[in-house]
A and B are shown apart, each in its own frame.
Chain A
Amino acid sequence: MNETQEALRKPVTVGGYFKNIWDSLFTTIAGLKITGGYFFQKPITVQYPDERLPIPERYRGIHYLEQDKCIECYACARACPVDCIDMEAVRHGKELEWVKFTIDYQKCMFCELCVYPCPKQCIHQGQEFAFVVEDRNELKHDLLSYQGMSRDARIRKKEAEAKKAAKEAAKKAKAEAAAKAKAEEEKNAPGEESSEDA
């Protein structure tokens, strides 16, 4: 027999009877006061998609990548304790032609360990925390903002190529000129050499 059952077995005294009535009335009124106070308070919840609570500056949300700074050094992928980062790029001299830079959010635990080792400080964790996908494979989130090379990189590459071509052309021209000069020299004084040889 527990406490409640014992209390129920005990006969109610006359004083206890009226005390019960008094208690029930006044505890109810006290409760009504409390809930009434809350009723006139401003709600503390926010209308979520329309208004949001401020997110701390160092919040570890979904990653974002400054793709132009990235040098595909794999420092972040090596640092990742769960190996969720995967990247692929083709090198054209100094420029990178990006194929992919994915983070598998099925594995990612938002530990921020990928952010620190980056030599160019180009991978960050942002403020955004909510994203919805319809297929599990889509959780492999691609951080690239563009595929292939950036416009700047293309221009730089073209310039570099042009420079190289010009250099080579200049070299070639120089070489040709040298060869020509030599040939002309030979032509102009064929006898001298031979005479020298002789």
Chain B
Amino acid sequence: MWYPLSTVATQAAITSTPEGNAVLRWLHGIAPESVPAWTLPLVTASISVAFVVTMIALIAMVAVWLERKISGHIQCRYGPMYAGVWHGWAQTIADGVKLLQKEDMIPLGADRPLFMLAPAIVLGAIFGAFVAMPLAPDMFFADINMGVFFILGMSSLTTIGVVMSGWASNSKWSLYGAMREAAQVVAYEIPLGLALMVPLIVAGTFNLREASALQSDWFGMGWLLFKNPFVFPAAILFFIAALAETKRAPFDLPEAESELVAGFLTEYSGIRWSFFFMEEYAAMYLMSLVAAVFFFGGFESPSTHMAGEWFGGGSFVHNLVAALTLIVKSMMGVIFMMWIRWTLPRVRIDQVMTMGYKYLTPLSLICVLGAAVWEALIA
């Protein structure tokens, strides 16, 4: 089991200070004196890794089921109905078990080490990105000051894994897919970061937890979306760029199952394939989470506000409601991405490039400039 090792390393590096990690603080409080202090970060890292891995697996499971149900209902079908009794909820578990049992195929001409490393890098990078994810005011793994940069950086690392898989597969379809992915990510990284600069200018912090917490005014509706007129177009730009970043339709050119068999996934099967799949849904969730935190109030909402009023700010119930609020908001983003996927046809690669360089980049620059001027002069 060397897959989550990169995550362990990241976790250990980031979560070794009590101020930066709620779990570590909690462990410091309850651990007896006889336990050596250096074990606590390791225990913390293990707990956090277990939590993150479980959470990503659960999110991917629910998201895959949702995707199939939503696609079914948009096409006037039912989608899975049998596995598990209620509306096929266990379909993903059944599929996962099937994928685990499948033969682990590596093509003859493939670059074996790279081929095996690619899914690990992809999944490890996305696991690492989840470290900076806040859940509630007092529920977080790593309170990183540059949380946004960390998340964007880690999620861009998945591209390396994808390019690696495309090259190592020794298949022209895979290579085409990987090249498209590289081109697409290079083009859309710029508008993604620039669109995210707009709420960052308004919030004045790169820390996801702090950015969430400062949107608690106006009865929990002090969302950054409402605080500056340039945040709303920035949200649309960010969402489009996030679709391209996560290889979702209409920008699913790296996979493009009608043109490139399955793109960079062509030669993968079984559990390695499911790692890529898991990464896709985890990345969707991560992008929706960043959008929820920086545009739609993070874990702040009227419900969180009421919980804070009634049970006291920082109480367990308040934290729980806040975490649920953030998860629901992020899942709404994921559902919207699925809705988009089953609405729009795939765009051509030249259209993708045109959109990225000629439309999104200048528009996001205008938004950054406008937001900065607005903040300096009016707000």
Give chain A's interface residues, CB within 8 Å of chain B. 8, 12, 17, 20-21, 25, 28, 31-32, 34-36, 38-45, 47
Contacts and interface: CB of A to CB of B under 8 A. Distances in A.
Contacts of A21: 359, 363
Nearest to A40: B73
B81 interface: yes
A32 B343 contact: yes
Interface in B76-119: 76-78, 81
A43 B77 contact: yes
Interface of B: 70, 72-78, 81, 236, 339-340, 342-344, 350, 358-359, 363
A12 B343 CA distance: 27
Contacts of B75: 38
Contacts of B73: 38-41, 43
B91 to A, nearest CB: 15
15 contacts: A28-B344, A31-B343, A32-B339, A32-B343, A34-B343, A35-B342, A38-B75, A38-B76, A39-B74, A39-B339, A41-B76, A43-B72, A43-B73, A43-B77, A45-B78
Nearest to A25: B236
Q: Is the interface of A mostly helix, strand, loop or mixed?
A: helix
B354 to A, nearest CB: 8
A35 B359 contact: no
Name, among A21, A38, A39, the residue most crowded by chain B CB atoms within 10 Å (CB to CB): A39
Contacts of B78: 43, 45, 47
Contacts, number: 44
A39 B343 CA distance: 11
Given A35-B342, A39-B70, A45 B76 contact: yes
Given A8-B350, A38-B73, A47 B339 contact: no
Contacts of B340: 28, 32
Contact of B339 (A8, A17, A36, A45): A36
Contacts of B344: 28, 31
A192 B72 CA distance: 111
A12 B359 CA distance: 12
B74 A35 contact: yes
Contacts of A20: 359
Contacts of A39: 70, 73-74, 339
Contacts of B342: 35
Given A40-B73, A43-B73, 10 more contacts: A28-B340, A28-B344, A34-B343, A35-B74, A35-B342, A39-B70, A43-B72, A43-B78, A45-B77, A47-B81
B343 A35 contact: yes
Contacts of A34: 343
A21 B350 CA distance: 16
A50 to B, nearest CB: 9
B196 to A, nearest CB: 20
Contacts of A44: 76
A42 B75 CA distance: 10
- Which of A17, A36, A45, A47 counts the most chain B CB atoms within 10 A? A45
B357 to A, nearest CB: 13
A12 B355 CA distance: 13
A31 B350 CA distance: 22
A35 B71 CA distance: 10
Q: Which of A32, A36, A42 has the most CB of B within 10 A?
A: A32
Contacts of B70: 39
A10 to B, nearest CB: 13
A32 to B, nearest CB: 5
B32 to A, nearest CB: 55
B377 to A, nearest CB: 25
Contacts of A8: 350
Contacts of A17: 359
A21 B74 CA distance: 26
A197 B340 CA distance: 125
Contacts of B350: 8
A35 B76 contact: no
Residue with the highest number of chain A CB atoms closer than 10 Å, among B76, B236, B350 = B76
B141 to A, nearest CB: 35
